[in-house]
Amino acid sequence: MPLRVLVVDDTAIFRRVISDAFAALPDVQVVGVATNGRNALAKIEELNPDLVSLDIEMPEMDGVQVLEALKARTADVGVLVLSALTRRGGELTVKALNLGAFDFITKPTGGGQEESRTFLAAELGPRIKAFARKREIQKLLKQVPGGPSSRRSEPSPLPAPKPAPRPVPGPALPTARPELVVIGVSTGGPTALAQVLSRLPANFPLPILIVQHMPPLFTASLAASLDAKSPLTVKEGKDGELALPGTVYLAPGGCHMKLVAEGGGEKRIRITDDPPENHCKPSVDALFRSVANAFPGKATAVILTGMGCDGTLGCRLLKRHGGTIIAQDEATCVVFGMPKEAIQAGVVDIVVPLESIADEILRSVRGPA
């Protein structure tokens, strides 16, 4: 069965361009279009689509209000947000992701309709594949008594494309208490990060550095949202500042965030404009690699939900020097891409559901008995 999509946008040109981009993808059927939020809710009731592409900024009823209405109705429909690359667009997108939107795409700027169709088709393709996989996992979970597994140090029992090897044997250097925590995350990140950070205590003794794949202007809104939900201070990282205990630093969108060692064991943040890695900027690998080189054996790394393989090479370096690697399991991931790649590379020590990630971070901070 093709994936049934409803396109919602208040601009006729974008409705056409987005519909054409979807139509160019295999196993996707555009079943209707809507011109505003109110019209979208009526169309969802009428057409029962699997996925809605939702313009976030619309008159009468914007995308956030549509998501709030869908949440109140407990509607079983996925939502992919389309947003302008503006500060306002970033604020609304973060709200939409917190309300359960699957992912977001920034609208193309400049160029003609053909260029916009090509851009959107390239952005939509992997997201549609990931969304279809997520729906498959949800169906499987409904057939498994007791729901997702909560066993520690074991991967999800759900089928994966290929079996994950056992974690690599003991580290090259003796494992000790870590001095910092690094986290890499992408699709599904805002909700996952909110759950993890809200479960850490206000007196958490280490700095936490996070790479969330997001464009410029969006990460500031995400940092503010997470700061309101966590007992820790959450902020965008700034070039030259020291990474301090009990503070969470989010890599600014469109830049890489790295860490360097200074005298007395101080940890200084560097924000760079280096080329993208794994098509990502900020990149998880860039942060993890800098930490592995500057603080060997002194970091706990966490790989959360997300598409692609960013973070796997960095995890390999961290593991080689004695770091602890924690990964989110498939059952609780929005997209089981980044964690799967790290698990299959054999560099992960612990695989647990999202609700157990904070506990495992705290366990690693306490160090070996």
Residues annotated as catalytic are 186, 213, 310
Quote the DSSP letter at residue 283. -
Q: Which two tokens stand for residue 28?
A: 């996707």
Cα 161 from Cα 244, distance rounded (Å) = 40
Cα 317 from Cα 84, distance rounded (Å) = 37
Report which of 358, 353, 360, 356 is spatially closest to residue 339, judged by C-alpha positions.
Answer: 353
Cα 228 from Cα 242, distance rounded (Å) = 22
Cα 132 from Cα 5, distance rounded (Å) = 12
Cα 208 from Cα 177, distance rounded (Å) = 15
310 contacts 278 by C-beta, under 8 angstroms? yes
324-328 and 299-303: which strand pairing?
Answer: parallel
Cα 137 from Cα 218, distance rounded (Å) = 29
Cα 340 from Cα 314, distance rounded (Å) = 14
Cα 186 from Cα 353, distance rounded (Å) = 16
